[in-house]
Amino acid sequence: MNRISRSLLMLFFLTSVIACKKENERIDEEKPKIDLTAESAFPKQCSQIKRGESFNFQMHLSDNVALGSYSIDVHNNFDHHSHSTEVEECTLDPIKRPVKPFSIVKTMDIPGQPKDYVAQLKIDVPLDIDPGNYHFMVQVTDQSGWSTQRGISIRITE
Amino acid sequence: MNRSFLFFSLFFIHGSFLTLYAQEKLKKKIDLQEVMVDGKRYKNAMEGPLSVNYIHIDSLQKFQGGSLMQTLSRIPGVGSIGIGASQSKPQIRGLGFNRVITVENGVKHEGQQWGLDHGLEIDQYSVGSAEIIKGATSFMYGSDAIGGVIRLSSLKETQEDGLKGSLNLIAKSNNSTLGSSVQFIGKEGKFVFGGGLTHLNYGDYRVPTDTVYVYNYAVGLKDNYVRNTAGRETDFQLKGGYVTEKFSSIFYLSSYDTKIGFFANAHGLEPRGVNTALYDKSNRDILYPSQKVNHFKVINRNYIEKDDQKIWIDIGYQRNNRKEFNHYVAHGYMPAIFPDNMGIPEDLERLYDKDIYSINVKDQFTKGSHQITLGGSGEIQHNNIGGWGFLIPEYRQRSAGAFVHDQYSIDKNTILYAALRYDYNHNQSKAYRDWFESETADGAKEKILRADNISRTFNSLVWGLGVARQFGDIETKFNVGKSFRNPATQEFASNGVNYHYYSYDIGNKNLSPEQSYQADLSIGWRRETADITLTPFYNYFSNYIYLNPTSRFDQFHGAGNQIFEYSESKVRRFGGEINANFRLTKNWKLALLGEYVKSKQLSGAKKGYTLPFSPAPSVLIGLDWSPKISQYLNSTYFAIDCKWTAEQNNIVPPEDKSASYTLFNFRAGTDLKLNSSVVQLRFQIQNLLDTKYMDHTSFYRLIALPEQGRNIVLSARVPFGKN
C-alpha cells in the first residue's frame, strides 16, 4: 500500500519537475513588415492609377529573420464590400455593376531569404477595363510562416 | 412584438401549471463544492481511474454564461473557444475541435466540430447534469476522445408519479437577452415523459471599447456594440419511455435551431466595408454575414438487466444543417458578377448538411472479482455540402469499434482497471470541382479540381490501464492510456482557398490516425470542511495533425493566398488543475481553482512552437457567503470570483500574444418562498469592472476584438408540479 502511495507521489513530483524545466530554444515570434511610408512605395492608400498605362508596384518588405515570399491581388471594390486595412478613408464612387473589371493575382518568391527586400513589379493596366475603386492587396510571409497583409484602396482613372 | 408575445405566452402557460401544481416543497442545500469531483460515484464505472467533474443543473443555473461551454468553463481544465457572446466550442486542457467529444444522452453529438466559427449545437437549459471526463477516453468512445468527454444528460425522471418542472426566465443586460425555458418531467406508473421549450432572443453584444483595430483600420463601434452579432434560438425537447427496475426504454427527441449574425466588419481575418447607416439602425436585426443552424436528434436509450448481466443499447439519429449567408464577393479568380444559372442562392456562401446514425451497445457482468464490460459501437455519416464557397468536400463515413473492459477489485480500497479497444473507420470523400474558371500556369483557364475521390480506411488499437485507491481521506487515481483520432476529411482531402483567412489549405492524403499517449493522476483529499483535488497530466502525441502556415503563396490553385499544409508533428503537453474548497465558517466558503497547460511541438516545421489556441494559465479565487436571512428566503448566497489569467506568450503563426487580465464576477441568489411555491432567483454580474481583455482562445482574438463587457444576468426559476 505504502509503496503505491510513495510511487504515486514520486510520479507527481516528477511531472512537476518536468513542468518546471526551462528550455531556451529560440523561435521566431515576429511577423514580417510591409512599409508603405517610404517615398518610393507605390501604390499607397488612395493612390490613382491611369488605365491604358503601366505602373511600378514597389514596396519595402522586411523581417527580423528571413523573408519568404509575397503576393499581390488587385480586385474591384465597386460594391464597397471590401475594406482596406489602412487608417485613411478614400472617397468611394457610387456602387456600380462591374462590366469588365481589372483583376490580377501574382505571387513571387523572395530569393536568398534576405531580411530586407524591395519588391518591384511592372503592372500593365489595359485600356478597356472599368475605371473606379479597386482594392490592392499585398501579402508577405517569412520563413517561419508568419504573414502580414495590407489592403490598400486605389482608384483606376480614365 | 414577436419576442414579448412568446415570452408572455410562456409565462401564461406556466401560470396555469402553477395553479395545478402549486404544492412545491423545495429543499436545497448548497454543497461545499459547486462542481463535484466525487470519485465514489464512478468507482464501479469505466471512468473509475479518471478525473471526472460532475455539475448539477443548480450549478449550471448559478454560473449561467452565454453558452453551455461558457457556463462550464469555470471548471479548472475546461475552456471554451468563444465565438462572440452566445456561441462556443468545448476545450479540455487546451484540446478542442475534433479532439474533444460531447455525448448527449449516450450518443456522441456530431455537428461541424472542425469549423472555427461553429458553436456547440446544444440548448444549455435542457441539460440536467454535465460530466467532464478529462484524459485519454478513446477506450470508451473511440476516435476523437483524445482530450476528454463532455457528457450531458437530460433531467432525471421523478421517483413518484406526477409531473414536475420549472419555468426559467432569463434576462441579460449586455446583449439585451430575453429568454425563457420551460422544462418538465413526469411519471405515470411505468411510463415516463418529459420535455422542454427554450427561446432566446438577443441583440448585438457590447465590448468595453468604441474602436476595434482590424489591422490598422479603425472600426468605430456605435455605443460599443459589436455590429451584427444578434441572434435567436429556439429549441425543444421531448422525452417518453417505459421504465421498470430491470428494464427501461426511453426516447429523446430534440431540436436546436438558431440564427446568429457574425461581426460585420470582419469576415474571418478579412476587413469588410460596412454600410453603417444600415447596420446601426437596429441592434437586434441580423444582416450579413450570418449563420442558420438546425440540429435535430432522436435517441433511444435502453437498459436491460437479466441475472447478473446488465445491457445498455443506445441508438441515435441526428441531422445537422448549417447554412452560412453572406454577400457574394468575388475573390481570386471568381467572376465579378454572380452567375444567375448556378442554382445556388446568391447569399448562400456555405451549406453543410449531415445525417448521422449511431448505435452503442454495452454488456456488463461479473466473474469472481472481475467486473467485465464488453461493448461495441457503429456510426454512419453522410455529409453533403452546398453554396458557392468551398472548404470541405462531401463525404460518407462508416465506423465501428469494439472494446473489452475489466475492473478488478484487489481489496475494499483498491481497484484496477484495464481496457482494450479496436476501431475501424472508412471515409469516402467525393470529388469537387470549382464552378468558376481559374488561370493556370500555362495561361489557360480551368475549373480546378478542389478535392479528389478519396477512399481511406483507418484501423486503430487503443488501450487504457488504471488504478484507484483510497488511503483514508485521500483518494488517488492513476490512468495511462492511448487515444486516437481519425484524420478529418478536410485534413486529408482539402485543396481549397479559405478567402476570409487568406489561406490556401492543402490536405495530405497520407495522414494516419493521430495517436496520443496520456498519463493522468488525481489526488483528492476530502474532509467535511475542506477538500483539495490535484489533477496533473502528461501527454505525448506521436503525430499531432495541424494546419501549418508555410512561407509560400500559390498563384494559380491558391489564387495568390498563403499555402497552409496539413502536417504532423510530435507534441508534448503537460499541465494540471487544482480544485480546492474550504468551509471557513458555517456561512463562508472559499474556492481556489487553477489550471495550467503547456504544449510544445517537438518536430516538424513548427518545432519549438506551441499548439494553436493554447489557453493561458489561470487562478480563480471564489468567496461565497450564505447567510440565513429569513424564513422566506432560503439558500441565500452572495459570492464573488476573482479570476487572474496570465499572459499567453507562447504562440504559433498566425496568432498574436495576449496580455494578462483579472476578471471579477459577482453572484447572488435566493429561494424566495411565496405561499406554497418557491421561486429561485439568480443574479450575476459578469465582468464586474467592465474590463477590456483578450481571451487567447477566442475566435475573434485574431482580429483583436475584446471580449464581452459587463453583463448583468438575471434569472428566475419557478418550479411547478410535485417534488
The distance of A93 to chain B (nearest Cα, Å) reads 14
Sort strands B51-56 and B661-674 into parallel, antiparallel or unpaired.
Answer: unpaired
**pLDDT confidence of residue A5:** 54
pLDDT digits (tens, 9 = 90+) for B179-220: 999 999 999 999 999 999 999 999 999 999 999 988 778 889
Residue pair B513/B492 in contact by the 8 Å Cβ criterion: no
CA nearest to A28, candidates A54, A2, A79, A67: A67
The distance of A156 to chain B (nearest Cα, Å) reads 17
Interatomic CA distance for residues B428 and B510, integer angstroms:
14
B388 Cβ partners below 8 Å, 6+ apart? B328, B338, B342, B344, B348, B349, B435
Beta strands in chain A (DSSP E): 33-35, 47-50, 54-62, 67-76, 104-109, 116-124, 132-142, 147-157
pLDDT digits (tens, 9 = 90+) for A107-142: 999 999 999 999 999 999 999 999 999 999 999 999
| Residue of chain A minimizing CA distance to B214 | A85
Backbone angles phi, psi at A78, to 5 degrees: -65, -25
**pLDDT confidence of residue B215:** 79
Residue pair B554/B575 in contact by the 8 Å Cβ criterion: no
**pLDDT confidence of residue B30:** 37
Instruction: Check whether A4 has a pLDDT greater than 80.
Output: no
Cell digits of residue B664? 471579477
Flag whether B269 is in a domain. Answer: yes
Flag whether B153 is in a domain. Answer: no
Could you tell me the CA-to-CA distances from B304 to B186, B191, B242, B313, B361 in Å, in that order? 21, 16, 12, 9, 11
B82 Cβ partners below 8 Å, 6+ apart? B67, B69, B70, B88, B695, B697, B698, B699, B700, B707
Best mutation site among A23, A24, A27 for testing chain B: the one with the most B CBs within 10 Å? A27
The distance of A60 to chain B (nearest Cα, Å) reads 18
Question: For residues B489 and A13, which has the higher predicted lDDT (pLDDT)?
Answer: B489
Interface touch B272/A83, C-beta < 8 Å: yes
Cell digits of residue B391? 472548404
Interatomic CA distance for residues B594 and B619, integer angstroms:
4
The distance of B338 to chain A (nearest Cα, Å) reads 11
Interface touch B574/A18, C-beta < 8 Å: yes
The distance of A21 to chain B (nearest Cα, Å) reads 12
**pLDDT confidence of residue B27:** 31
B384 Cβ partners below 8 Å, 6+ apart? B351, B352, B353, B354, B394
In 3-state terms, what secondary structure has residue B279?
Answer: helix
**pLDDT confidence of residue B26:** 30
Contacts of B548 in chain A (CB under 8 A): 145
**Across the interface, which of B214, B558, B574 has its CB nearest the CB of A19?**
B574
Interatomic CA distance for residues B570 and B226, integer angstroms:
39
Best mutation site among B562, B569, B657, B658 for testing chain A: the one with the most A CBs within 10 Å? B562
Q: Count Cβ atoms below 10 Å from residue B602 Cβ, excluding itself.
A: 14
Could you tell me the CA-to-CA distances from B9 to B13, B68, B201 in Å, in that order? 6, 25, 15
Query: Looking at residue B272, what DSSP letter applies?
Result: B
Contacts of A23 in chain B (CB under 8 A): 600
Interface touch B218/A87, C-beta < 8 Å: yes
The distance of B346 to chain A (nearest Cα, Å) reads 15
Sort strands B191-202 and B231-243 into parallel, antiparallel or unpaired.
Answer: antiparallel
Interatomic CA distance for residues B165 and B129, integer angstroms:
15
Residue pair B94/B79 in contact by the 8 Å Cβ criterion: yes
Flag whether B39 is in a domain. Answer: no
Could you tell me the CA-to-CA distances from B598 to A19, B544, B564, B595 in Å, in that order? 8, 15, 24, 10
CA nearest to B206, candidates B702, B696, B686: B686
Residue pair B106/B301 in contact by the 8 Å Cβ criterion: yes
Q: Is the peptide bond before B706 cis (omega within 30 degrees of 0)?
A: no
Flag whether B17 is in a domain. Answer: no
Residue pair A155/A90 in contact by the 8 Å Cβ criterion: yes
Contacts of A27 in chain B (CB under 8 A): 608-609
Interface touch A15/B576, C-beta < 8 Å: yes
Residue pair B716/B703 in contact by the 8 Å Cβ criterion: no
pLDDT digits (tens, 9 = 90+) for A77-111: 998 887 888 888 888 899 999 999 999 999 999 99
Interface touch B555/A105, C-beta < 8 Å: yes
**Across the interface, which of A5, A76, A107 has its CB nearest the CB of B560?**
A107
Query: What is the total count of domains within chain B?
Result: 1
Flag whether B146 is in a domain. Answer: no
Q: What is the mean pLDDT of chain A?
A: 87
CB pairs under 8 A between A and B: 155
The enclosing domain of B288 has a CATH number of 2.40.170.20
**pLDDT confidence of residue B14:** 39
Interface touch A139/B218, C-beta < 8 Å: no
Say what the ipTM of the complex is.
0.87
Burial of B214 (0-12, 13-18, 19+ CB in 10 A): buried
The distance of B573 to chain A (nearest Cα, Å) reads 9
Flag whether B46 is in a domain. Answer: no
Instruction: Report residue B392 CA to chain centroid gap.
Output: 22
Interface touch A71/B562, C-beta < 8 Å: yes
Contacts of B562 in chain A (CB under 8 A): 71, 139, 141, 145, 147
**pLDDT confidence of residue B40:** 66
Interface touch A18/B561, C-beta < 8 Å: no
Interatomic CA distance for residues B682 and B689, integer angstroms:
20
Contacts of B600 in chain A (CB under 8 A): 23
B569 Cβ partners below 8 Å, 6+ apart? B541, B543, B544, B546, B601, B602, B603, B604, B605, B606, B607
CA nearest to B434, candidates B322, B332, B358, B539: B332
B472 Cβ partners below 8 Å, 6+ apart? none
Contacts of A12 in chain B (CB under 8 A): 521, 523, 534, 536
Cell digits of residue B651? 504562440
Interatomic CA distance for residues B543 and B682, integer angstroms:
46
Sort strands B514-526 and B454-471 into parallel, antiparallel or unpaired.
Answer: unpaired
Contacts of A98 in chain B (CB under 8 A): 336-337
**Across the interface, which of B332, B439, B608 has its CB nearest the CB of A27?**
B608
Beta strands in B618-660 (DSSP E): 618-625, 633-645
| Residue of chain B minimizing CA distance to A74 | B332
Interatomic CA distance for residues B162 and B189, integer angstroms:
9
Yes or no: is domain A28-157 CATH 3.40.50.300?
no
Interatomic CA distance for residues B410 and B538, integer angstroms:
26
CA nearest to A105, candidates A87, A119, A92, A123: A123
**pLDDT confidence of residue B677:** 86
The distance of B572 to chain A (nearest Cα, Å) reads 11
Q: Count Cβ atoms below 10 Å from residue B163 Cβ, excluding itself.
A: 18
Tell me the residue range of the domain where B215 lies: 188-673+681-714
Contacts of B574 in chain A (CB under 8 A): 15, 18-19
Query: Looking at residue B215, what DSSP letter applies?
Result: T
CA nearest to B598, candidates B658, B547, B649: B649
Contacts of A105 in chain B (CB under 8 A): 332-333, 439, 555, 559-560
Cell digits of residue B553? 503563396
Q: Is the peptide bond before B289 cis (omega within 30 degrees of 0)?
A: yes
Cell digits of residue B521? 493522476
Contacts of A84 in chain B (CB under 8 A): 217, 271
* pLDDT-flagged residues of chain B (< 50): 1-31
Q: What residues form DSSP beta bridges with B458?
A: B425
The distance of A116 to chain B (nearest Cα, Å) reads 15
Could you tell me the CA-to-CA distances from B109 to B342, B362, B437 in Å, in that order? 33, 18, 38
Backbone angles phi, psi at A8, to 5 degrees: -65, -45
Q: Count Cβ atoms below 10 Å from residue B11 Cβ, excluding itself.
A: 15
B421 Cβ partners below 8 Å, 6+ apart? B138, B139, B142, B401, B402, B403, B404, B461, B462, B463
Interface touch A145/B536, C-beta < 8 Å: no
Cell digits of residue A131? 475605371
Flag whether B108 is in a domain. Answer: no
Contacts of B605 in chain A (CB under 8 A): 145
Sort strands B661-674 and B633-645 into parallel, antiparallel or unpaired.
Answer: antiparallel
**pLDDT confidence of residue B25:** 29
**Across the interface, which of A106, A147, A149 has its CB nearest the CB of B555?**
A106
Burial of B493 (0-12, 13-18, 19+ CB in 10 A): buried
**pLDDT confidence of residue B33:** 62
